[in-house]
């Protein structure tokens, strides 16, 4: 493929993975990023002696990342050091109950016994159900890069598709088939945080997520999660990928239903035989392709996922009750999800995801200090229901009130530095669709949980990677999308 020149738009994990995967097949690859570093939402900032991972905080399915290295005869361990996280996470409830999720079966049973005599057995039955879904998904949807419900039907058959993917239930309904304890229902429902959707709207297919976590474990990158981006950047450069930073693409050139190249903000024109966009599909269609209304209408079902209010707090004390990953649950979880996904308002009582990475890596903060990263899910930007800066600050106070009430005593008094992001910041920095974090929302009524296809419907040599296309959001899935787009490009070229 030496005569095929590929331009990859955006150096998020999907773009890096695509660039590496195509360079390994002999393509000439140029990776163009508008920001000052690679990684996309996997970002980093150092401030007052604290190192904040701005984006993803959980690494799972490390074999997907390892595949990029082993395919070219490299060892991922030579590029990045990852370590397991135990417990997986700690769950806090308003009544003072706290329960760990942990990979050790005996320890897990002891933790679940806190929720009653039947919780552990119900949990085991649920995990067996989750494994059936996961095995089916990995065998076809992941491995073959299936891009629509009809491709799913053709691969599995109608009967197997209905049975294996529990298509008539929501995620919450799938959980409640097995689980009677309401706290355990909340815990399993909140695995939906990996994709930024609601368990009451997402298909039961999403119940594969707990099995994936228990099967592949949770991992942390020593020195900070950004080390994954640095490792992929190093591998890409070794494979001959040209990386342009601080270079924004403003247009994809086209002729006769084919992309011919790109135009940069400074007017530079670059030719390409193939283009891969790590910019989300709908913003790319709007901003780079100037797609007609008829094409954009086809994409309406691929609505953006939720966004988040992201607080990175450097505090001058430790909170020993915290694990690396923690969840503080809403007393009324369905009200919380309805506020975010239906009313597009800020929840009065949000479930809060809290990361305390110093538990795994003390080097991330000054001695005796802690990092408290807080992420409640909130609506994406809605032009019909705009939220003000004051609205977001009010939610910040509500979140801190909740954390202090649930055990993080005097948290406000111990904050010595802070980094604060709203959906406006996320949209501005990453051009994500309406400030979404996870790409396309998983909704069984709107899109059956599918994301947009990787092949462009407008241009025959334009492809997409990242959280807005199949197989979806999260670090492993966007990295897998880069490998699957390689397979699609090779297959399409073979047919020409």
Task: Tell which CATH architecture fits domain 5-46+57-70+222-302+449-495.
Answer: 3-Layer(bba) Sandwich (3.50)
Query: What pLDDT score was predicted for residue 312?
Result: 97
The label of the residue with tokens 């070794």 reads 238
Counting Cβ atoms within 10 Å, is residue 496 exposed (0-12), middle (13-18) or buried (19+)? exposed
Query: What pLDDT score was predicted for residue 2?
Result: 60
Please report, rounded to a whole number, the percentage of residues in the chain having pLDDT higher than 90: 95
| Secondary structure of residue 44 in the 3-state scheme | strand
Compute CA distances 104 → 82, 337, 342, 357, whole Å. 19, 31, 38, 21
Query: What pLDDT score was predicted for residue 161?
Result: 76
Q: How far apart are CA 491 and CA 481, in angstroms?
A: 15
DSSP labels for 154-195? HHH-HHHHHHHTTTTSBHHHHHHTT---HHHHHHHHGGGGGT
* Domain layout of the chain by residue ranges: 5-46+57-70+222-302+449-495
Position 426 confidence tier, pLDDT thresholds 50, 70, 90: very high
Query: What pLDDT score was predicted for residue 164?
Result: 82
Residue 415 reports pLDDT greater than 90: yes
Q: Average pLDDT of 247-261?
A: 97
Q: Which of 359, 365, 352 is nearest to 52 (CA)?
A: 365
Q: Which token pair is 369? A: 């200090």
Q: What is the number of other CB atoms lying within 10 angstroms of the CB of residue 81?
A: 13
Ranges assigned E (strand) in 14-152: 28-32, 44-47, 50-53, 82-84, 89-92, 98-101
DSSP labels for 126-141? HHHHHHHHHHHIIIII
Is the sign of the CA dihedral 190, 194, 200, 203 positive or negative?
A: negative
Q: How far apart are CA 284 and CA 481, in angstroms?
A: 17
| Secondary structure of residue 306 in the 3-state scheme | coil
Q: How far apart are CA 141 and CA 151, in angstroms?
A: 9
Q: Output the pTM of the full model.
A: 0.96
Residue 1 reports pLDDT greater than 60: no
What are the tens digits of pLDDT across the range 325-369? 999 999 999 999 999 999 999 999 999 999 999 999 999 999 999
Residue 163 reports pLDDT greater than 80: no
Q: Which of 143-157, 191-205, 471-485 has the lowest mean pLDDT?
A: 143-157
Q: Which of 194, 386, 231 is nearest to 305 (CA)?
A: 194
Q: Note the residue count of the chain.
A: 496
Average pLDDT, the chain: 96
């Amino acid at each position: 493929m030496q005569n095929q020149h590929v331009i990859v738009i955006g150096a998020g994990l999907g773009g890096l993975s695509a660039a590496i995967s195509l360079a390994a097949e002999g393509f000439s690859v140029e990776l163009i990023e508008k920001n000052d570093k690679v990684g996309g939402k996997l970002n980093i900032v150092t401030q007052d002696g604290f190192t904040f991972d701005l984006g993803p905080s959980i690494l799972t399915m490390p074999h997907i990342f390892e595949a990029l290295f082993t395919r070219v005869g490299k060892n991922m361990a030579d590029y990045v050091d990852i370590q397991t996280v135990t417990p997986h996470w700690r769950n806090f409830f308003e009544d003072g109950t706290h329960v760990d999720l942990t990979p050790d079966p005996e320890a897990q049973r002891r933790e679940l016994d806190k929720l009653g005599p039947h919780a552990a057995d119900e949990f085991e039955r649920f995990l067996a159900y989750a494994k059936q879904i996961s095995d089916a998904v990995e065998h076809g949807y992941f491995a073959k890069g299936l891009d629509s419900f009809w491709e799913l039907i053709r691969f599995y058959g109608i009967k197997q598709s209905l049975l294996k993917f529990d298509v008539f239930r929501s995620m919450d309904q799938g959980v409640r088939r097995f689980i009677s304890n309401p706290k355990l229902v909340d815990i399993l429902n909140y695995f939906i945080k990996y994709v930024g959707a609601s368990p009451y709207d997402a298909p039961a297919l999403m119940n594969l997520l707990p099995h994936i976590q228990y099967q592949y474990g949770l991992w942390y990158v020593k020195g900070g999660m950004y080390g994954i981006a640095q490792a992929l950047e190093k591998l890409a450069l070794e494979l001959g990928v040209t990386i342009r930073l601080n270079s924004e693409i403003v247009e994809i050139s086209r002729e006769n239903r084919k992309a011919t190249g790109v135009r940069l903000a400074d007017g530079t024109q670059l030719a390409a035989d193939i283009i891969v966009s790590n910019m989300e599909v709908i913003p790319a269609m709007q901003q780079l392709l100037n797609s007609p209304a008829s094409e954009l209408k086809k994409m309406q079902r691929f609505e953006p996922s939720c966004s988040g209010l992201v607080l990175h707090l450097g505090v001058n004390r430790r909170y020993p009750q915290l694990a690396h990953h923690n969840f503080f649950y809403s007393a009324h979880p369905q009200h919380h999800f309805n506020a975010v996904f239906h009313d597009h308002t800020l929840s009065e009582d949000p479930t809060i995801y809290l990361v305390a990475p110093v538990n795994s890596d003390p080097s991330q903060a000054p001695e005796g200090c802690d990092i408290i990263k807080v992420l409640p899910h909130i609506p994406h930007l809605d032009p019909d229901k705009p939220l003000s800066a004051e609205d977001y600050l009010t939610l910040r106070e509500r979140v801190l009130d909740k954390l202090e009430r649930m055990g993080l005593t005097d948290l406000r008094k111990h904050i010595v530095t802070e980094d604060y992001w709203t959906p406006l910041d996320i949209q501005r920095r990453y051009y994500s669709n309406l400030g979404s974090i996870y790409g396309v929302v998983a909704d069984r009524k709107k899109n059956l949980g599918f994301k947009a296809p990787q092949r462009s419907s407008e241009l025959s040599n334009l492809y997409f990677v990242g959280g807005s296309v199949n197989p979806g959001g999260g670090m492993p899935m966007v990295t897998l999308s880069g490998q699957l787009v390689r397979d699609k490009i090779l297959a399409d070229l073979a047919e020409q």
